[in-house]
Amino acid sequence: MILDQSDSGKVVIPGQYITPTYKLQTESNVIEKYISGKGTTITPIQIADQSKVVSVITASILGKVYVNEIQSTKPEEETDGKDKDDEEEEQQKVKTYLVVVIPKSSSYINFQKNHQQELKHLVDSNSISINLPTENDIVLVKVTKITLKQIYCEILTVENGDNVLKDGGIGVNGDLSHVSVTPSGGSASLSNYQTIASSQSTLTGAQFQDIGENFRGIIRSQDIRSTERDKVKVIESYKPGDIVRAMILSLGDGSNYYLTTARNDLGVIFAKSENGSGNLMYPLDWQNMIDVTNGIIEKRKCANPFT
């Protein structure tokens, strides 16, 4: 059941063994090190009739497995210097591979095939699941509300990943979607929607109103741009309805992720003029956008697509 490196593209099922974390090729005296990437987890497997336990990379989702060698070895030398010395004495070479499982329908597969150089990024983001954002992820958000101090938004999708929620924010995730079947008037409700998430593993008494519609984020005014932070005006940067490319600063508090756009390639990518009643606008420079139909110029903090 354990797959060889040549078996990339094979279907794996959650729990299925992919490869042990270390392999020794005796002929070539090469240690093969496998890193558990997205869609995999490391399971201690007990070998039958022995007390020995082997760490095995197993699939955690249904999908196809891809094993790719990580070419650059520089960061490794820095991180585990001691191990390196030992290895040098034994004149052994360590080859590092990344194991990822890609779910069936994912724009991810193509991305991953086309961007071999991005693989290291995937290693870094190992700890997150398929579609939840984590620190340093680039996300697309929709601005929902602005105040003098911060911008509230909903996270739509993680760049290089899938939509955060299945519906991608298109609107089937209102209050009612948290109830598996709509509580219909008069007849017996098929689901007891009041007790969602009130079980052994969670806060007691949580009700479905406590569950949000979407993962939300906050961009504080000092995180809008990297220069002249004290002079920034929220209203001249973002308006409700804008689609913004932002980076996750931290997981934030219980309700919101903290986001930043203090980089040239981050900021508004889609916006409509006149508070959304106008037409789609095009960026003129990093802080102006133009509606070509009626010539209105509005202020936005635009993302530079060419960096």
Partner 1 sequence: MDRRRLLGPLNTIIPNIGISSNPNDIKPDTTIDNDEVSANQIQNFFLKTGIIENANGSAYLEVGNSIIEVSVFGPRPIRGSFVDRASFSVECKFLPYITQPGEQIYNTTNQFNNGNSNTNANGRTGLTTIEQRISAYVETALLPSIILEKYPKSTFDIFITIISTEEGVNNNDEDDDNSAPNEQLLRLTNWIVNCSSVALVDASVELKDIVTSGIVKTTSDGKVIFDPRSQGNEEEEQEEGSVIGVASFMNLRNDELVGIWIERQGAINVGDTEMNNILDGCNEMSKKIRANINTYLANSLE
Query: Which position has the token pair 């069936």?
Result: 104
Site for partner 1, residues 172 to 191, rule: CB under 8 A: 172, 177-178, 180, 188-191
Alpha-carbon distances of 69 from 96, 111, 236, rounded to whole Å:
6, 17, 46
Q: Which helix (H) or strand (E) holds 288?
A: strand 288-290
Give 131 or 264: the residue with its C-beta nearer to partner 1.
Answer: 131
- 255 touches partner 1 (CB under 8 A): yes
Count other C-beta atoms under 10 Å from residue 14's C-beta. 14
And the tokens for 81? 């210097």
d(CA 156, CA 248): 13
Site for partner 1, residues 195 to 234, rule: CB under 8 A: 195-203, 206, 210-216
With contacts defined by CB under 8 A, name the span among 15-23, 73-81, 271-279, 296-304 that binds partner 1.
15-23
- Binding partner 1 (rule: CB under 8 A), the pick from 13, 24, 292, 297 is 13
Give 39 or 283: the residue with its C-beta nearer to partner 1.
Answer: 39
- 58 touches partner 1 (CB under 8 A): yes
Give 102 or 234: the residue with its C-beta nearer to partner 1.
Answer: 102
Give 12 or 268: the residue with its C-beta nearer to partner 1.
Answer: 12
The residues, ordered by sequence, that sit 6+ positions from 65 with a Cβ below 8 Å of its Cβ are 3, 7, 8, 9, 10, 11, 12, 18, 40, 59, 99, 100, 101
In a 3-state reduction of DSSP, which class is residue 115? coil
d(CA 50, CA 273): 69
Give 150 or 273: the residue with its C-beta nearer to partner 1.
Answer: 150
Interface residues toward partner 1, by CB under 8 A: 11, 13-17, 39, 41, 43-46, 58, 60-64, 103-104, 127-132, 165-166, 172, 177-178, 180, 188-192, 194-203, 206, 210-216, 251-255
